[in-house]
């Protein structure tokens, strides 16, 4: 320090080797042991992190270390400083949001993906990454009984995105550009898009990112008497009114399994409306789509043959770890037309011969991970039979919880259960006004979550504040659902006594 000597200082540490295979083997084995121990003891941690905002800074040094630290020390600090600040999504007592499901197979697939670190933007950059993804997307399409028009073996194709948000954005831009081609770029302000008041919030964000005017994003109201599904009649009326006003309907997002209450929009009649107005119909089945590999749930995708695109996030209910969203499109050339790039430094013979898929033209970014490995390992390691069993087992546990609610007159189911999410509330009708029922349920949620023994979340549909009990964390067994119900009842006892 302070020396005027311009020579670079010698490393005080000897040769620096960021990837030494033997060192890797040793530390990776330690990490696997750490992970297995974590999974084994995960139940002992409060499922919802109990730390206060800003907890971490005082625990860690103010600057990065100048000299290397031993791996053992770092792992110890993960245990000591990081784990307390984790909300344990893999805890069997996690019933919040939708579960983010996992499996040994997907973890190992992720290890292999990370191992190769291929940046497969085009076919040549790793032919296997592109070709396996195409095959796995067709496999998934067949499991879901999608028509050939969504498969590479037919006339469409699929791509793996990180999230639904990207899937919606990419298809929306394809639909937008198709429209602009006929109405002219200057008329982008006339483009109107449609969804329901239950459509995921990421839809509005994607619309804004795609340059759709916020005043042209229609959010069609839903009501309790259709279980909060999107009314084709209202969509038609909205489109008709927009056309009359000189606007141009372009995109409709329907949802199979809404985030608040797993409502299912009726695809067939919505597709009719979309066809009549030349509108791109996208189906967001982020959560519930996975259930459609079981014949008894496939009906929810009836009408999909008339949609333009479908997205489904295996990272929710298909055991794949984040991040993994499957997107199928009927007309990949529209996607490619809107999103392709062709810089000199990526030019190559296979791409120019048009004989390959270059996935960079199907997504937002250029670089992409070899995500297909994860899904491929899940499909091969478990087989469709086990995956169907997995879905049914979650549904069975949710049905059990629904039964508990139905058997206790102080509680009620607010929206009929379709999948593994139970929407309920405490409603001791005689003693409470509307406003105080909401307050009571807010208190109940806070009471339960503050114990660290269960984590649930809430929503509001049709003006009703309700509690969401989403069954399906991979490690959840019957006993966890039973214990959660016991805790919820205890909370109700305490709150009702107090009031
Ligand atoms: C969870 C969810 C999303 C957001 O999904 P990501 O893939 O995490 O972006 C979108 N739509 C629905 C219906 C969802 O349930």
Atom of ligand 1 nearest to the CA of 257: 13
CA of 100 to the centre of ligand 1 (A): 11
User: Phi/psi zone of residue 65: left (φ > 0), alpha (ψ -120 to 50 degrees), beta?
Assistant: beta
Could you give the 3-state DSSP secondary structure of residue 417? Answer: coil
Q: What residues are paired with 381 via a beta bridge?
A: none
Q: What is the pLDDT of residue 1?
A: 46
Whether the predicted pLDDT of 364 surpasses 60:
yes
Burial of 200 (0-12, 13-18, 19+ CB in 10 A): buried
Atom of ligand 1 nearest to the CA of 199: 13
Q: Do residues 222 and 263 make contact, with C-beta atoms less than 8 angstroms apart? A: yes
Atom of ligand 1 nearest to the CA of 162: 7
CA of 199 to the centre of ligand 1 (A): 10
- Give alpha helix (H) positions in 144-200: 164-183
Q: Which residues contact 147 (CB under 8 A, 6 or more apart)?
A: 154, 304, 305
Rounded Cα distance between 273 and 77, Å, is 57
Tokens of 208: 């804004």
Whether the predicted pLDDT of 499 surpasses 80:
no
Per-residue pLDDT reduced to its tens digit, 178-234: 999 999 999 999 999 999 999 999 999 999 999 999 999 999 999 999 999 999 999
Q: Do residues 373 and 132 make contact, with C-beta atoms less than 8 angstroms apart? A: yes
Which of 171, 196, 259 best tests ligand 1's pocket when mutated (most atoms within 8 Å of CB)?
Answer: 259
Q: Which residues contact 49 (CB under 8 A, 6 or more apart)?
A: 84, 85, 86, 87, 88
Per-residue pLDDT reduced to its tens digit, 118-142: 999 999 999 999 999 999 999 999 9
Which residue, judged by its Cα, is nearest atom 2 of ligand 1?
Answer: 286
Percentage of the residues of the chain whose pLDDT score is greater than 70: 96
Tokens of 194: 């449609």
Which residue, judged by its Cα, is nearest atom 5 of ligand 1?
Answer: 164
CA of 164 to the centre of ligand 1 (A): 5
Whether the predicted pLDDT of 90 surpasses 50:
yes
CA of 286 to the centre of ligand 1 (A): 5
Q: Which CATH number fits domain 21-46+50-85: 3.60.150.10, 1.20.1340.10, 3.40.30.10, 1.10.443.10?
A: 1.20.1340.10
Q: Which CATH number fits domain 119-368: 3.30.56.10, 3.40.640.10, 3.40.190.10, 3.40.50.300?
A: 3.40.640.10
CATH class for the domain made up of 380-498: alpha beta
CA of 282 to the centre of ligand 1 (A): 13
CA of 200 to the centre of ligand 1 (A): 7
Per-residue pLDDT reduced to its tens digit, 175-187: 999 999 999 999 9
Q: Where are the domains of the chain?
A: 21-46+50-85, 119-368, 380-498
Q: Is the pTM of this model over 0.75?
A: yes
Burial of 38 (0-12, 13-18, 19+ CB in 10 A): middle
Whether 313 is in the pocket of ligand 1, judged by its Cβ within 6 Å, is yes
Give mean pLDDT, residues 426-447. Answer: 85
Give mean pLDDT, residues 243-252. Answer: 98
Whether the predicted pLDDT of 498 surpasses 80:
no
Which of the four pLDDT bands, split at 50, 70 and 90, describes residue 338?
Answer: very high
Q: Do residues 196 and 265 make contact, with C-beta atoms less than 8 angstroms apart? A: yes
Atom of ligand 1 nearest to the CA of 166: 9
Which of the four pLDDT bands, split at 50, 70 and 90, describes residue 434?
Answer: low
Per-residue pLDDT reduced to its tens digit, 140-170: 999 999 999 999 999 999 999 999 999 999 9
DSSP codes joined into one string, 83-148: GGG---TTSTTB-SSS-----HHHHHHHHHHHHH----SSGGG-HHHHHHHHHHHHHHHHHTT--G
Q: Which residues contact 427 (CB under 8 A, 6 or more apart)?
A: 410, 411, 412, 437
């Amino acid at each position: 320090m302070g020396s005027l000597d311009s020579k670079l200082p010698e490393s005080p540490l000897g040769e620096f080797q960021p990837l030494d295979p033997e060192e890797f083997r040793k530390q990776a084995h330690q990490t696997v042991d750490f992970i297995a121990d974590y999974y084994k003891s995960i139940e002992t941690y409060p499922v919802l992190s109990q730390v206060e905002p800003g907890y971490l800074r005082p625990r860690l040094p103010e600057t990065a270390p100048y000299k290397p630290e031993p791996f053992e020390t770092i792992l110890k600090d993960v245990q000591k400083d990081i784990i307390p600040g984790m909300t344990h999504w893999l805890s069997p007592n996690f019933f919040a949001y939708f579960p983010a499901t996992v499996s040994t197979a997907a973890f190992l697939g992720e290890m292999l993906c990370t191992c190769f670190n291929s940046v497969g933007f085009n076919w040549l950059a790793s032919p296997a990454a592109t070709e396996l993804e195409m095959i796995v997307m067709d496999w998934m399409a067949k499991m879901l009984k999608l028509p050939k028009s969504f498969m590479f073996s037919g006339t469409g194709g699929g791509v793996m995105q990180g999230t639904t948000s990207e899937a919606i954005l990419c298809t929306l831009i394809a639909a937008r550009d198709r429209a602009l081609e006929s109405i002219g770029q200057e008329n982008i302000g006339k483009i109107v898009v449609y969804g329901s008041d239950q459509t995921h919030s990421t839809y509005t964000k994607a619309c804004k990112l795609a340059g759709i005017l916020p005043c042209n994003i229609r959010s069609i109201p839903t009501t309790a008497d259709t279980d909060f599904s999107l009314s084709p009649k209202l969509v038609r009326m909205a489109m008709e009114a927009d056309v009359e006003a000189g606007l141009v309907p372009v995109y409709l997002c329907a949802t199979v399994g809404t985030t608040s209450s797993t409502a299912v929009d009726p695809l067939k009649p919505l597709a009719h409306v979309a066809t009549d107005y030349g509108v791109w119909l996208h189906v967001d089945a982020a959560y519930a789509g996975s259930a459609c590999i079981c014949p008894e749930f496939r009906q929810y995708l009836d009408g999909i043959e008339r949609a333009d695109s479908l997205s489904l996030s295996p990272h929710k209910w298909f055991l794949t770890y984040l991040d993994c969203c499957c997107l199928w499109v009927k007309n990949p050339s529209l996607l490619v037309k809107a999103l392709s790039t062709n810089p000199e430094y990526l030019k190559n013979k296979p791409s120019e011969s048009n004989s390959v898929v270059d996935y960079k033209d199907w997504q937002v970014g250029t670089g992409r991970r070899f995500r297909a490995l994860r899904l491929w390992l899940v499909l091969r390691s478990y087989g469709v039979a086990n995956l169907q069993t997995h879905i049914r087992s979650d549904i069975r546990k949710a049905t059990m919880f629904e039964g508990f609610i139905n058997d206790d007159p102080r509680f009620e189911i607010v929206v009929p259960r379709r999948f593994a999410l139970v929407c309920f509330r405490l409603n001791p009708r005689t003693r409470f006004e509307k406003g105080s029922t909401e307050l009571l349920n807010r208190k109940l949620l806070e009471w339960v979550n503050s114990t660290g023994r269960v984590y649930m979340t809430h929503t509001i549909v049709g003006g009703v504040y309700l509690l969401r009990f989403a069954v399906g964390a991979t490690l959840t067994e019957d006993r966890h659902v039973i214990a959660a119900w016991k805790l919820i009842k205890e909370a109700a006892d305490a709150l009702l006594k107090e009031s």
